[in-house]
Amino acid sequence: MNYDDIIYEKDSGVATITINRPKVYNAFRAQTVVELIDAFQDAGWDREIGVVVLTGSGDKAFSTGGDQSIDSKGSGVYGKLRGTIGMPITELQALMRDIPKPVIAKVRGYAIGGGNVLATICDMTIASENAKFGQVGPKMGSVDPGWGTAYLAHIVGEKKAREIWYMCRQYTAQEAEAMGLVNKVVSDDQLDDEVDIWCQELVERSPTAIAIAKRSFNADTDHINGIGAMGMESLRLYYETEESKEGGNSFREKRKPEFRKYVK
Evaluate whether residue 173 is within a structural domain.
yes
Domain, as residue range, for 28: 6-188
**Rounded distance between C-alpha atoms, residue 100 and residue 83, angstroms:** 23
pLDDT at residue 75 in the model: 45
- pLDDT (0 to 100) of residue 50: 98
Q: Report if residue 260 sits inside a domain.
A: no
Cα–Cα distance, 54 to 175 (Å, whole number) = 21
Detail the DSSP E strand segments found in the chain. Answer: 6-11, 14-19, 51-56, 61-63, 103-107, 110-112, 124-128, 132-134, 170-172, 184-186
Alpha helices in 207-264 (DSSP H): 207-219, 223-238, 242-252
Q: Is 151 helix (H, G, I), strand (E, B) or coil?
A: helix
Residue-level pLDDT at 111: 98
Facing residues of 125 across strands? 105
- Cα 27 versus chain centre, distance: 10
Residues 226/233, Cβ–Cβ less than 8 Å: no
pLDDT given for residue 81 in this prediction: 58
In a domain, 209, yes or no: no
Residues of the chain with pLDDT under 70: 70-81
Within-domain flag for 244: no
Q: Residue 176, Cα to own-chain centre: how many angstroms? A: 15
Q: What is the pTM of this model?
A: 0.91
Answer yes or no: is 27 within a domain. yes
In a domain, 144, yes or no: yes
Please work out, in degrees rounded to the nearest 5, the angle formed at the alpha carbon of residue 51 by the alpha carbons of 102 and 7.
115
Instruction: Map residue 110 onto helix, strand or coil.
Output: strand
Q: At what angle do helices 223-238 and 89-98 cross, to 10 degrees?
A: 170
Residue 210: inside a domain, yes or no?
A: no
Smallest Cα–Cα separation from 65: which of 105, 17, 3, 119? 119
The CA-atom distances, in angstroms, between 41 and each of 46, 138, 167 are: 9, 32, 35
DSSP 134: E
pLDDT tens profile 1-47: 899 999 999 999 999 999 999 999 999 999 999 999 999 999 999 99
Q: Measuring CA to CA, which residue among 182, 181, 215 is closest to residue 44?
A: 215
Query: What is the number of structural domains in the chain?
Result: 1
**Cα angle for residues 75, 132, 127 (degrees, 5° grid):** 105
The residue among 137, 24, 19, 30 whose CA lies nearest residue 74 is 30
CATH number of the domain where residue 28 is located:
3.90.226.10
Residue 199, in any domain of the structure: no
Predicted pLDDT at 77 = 39
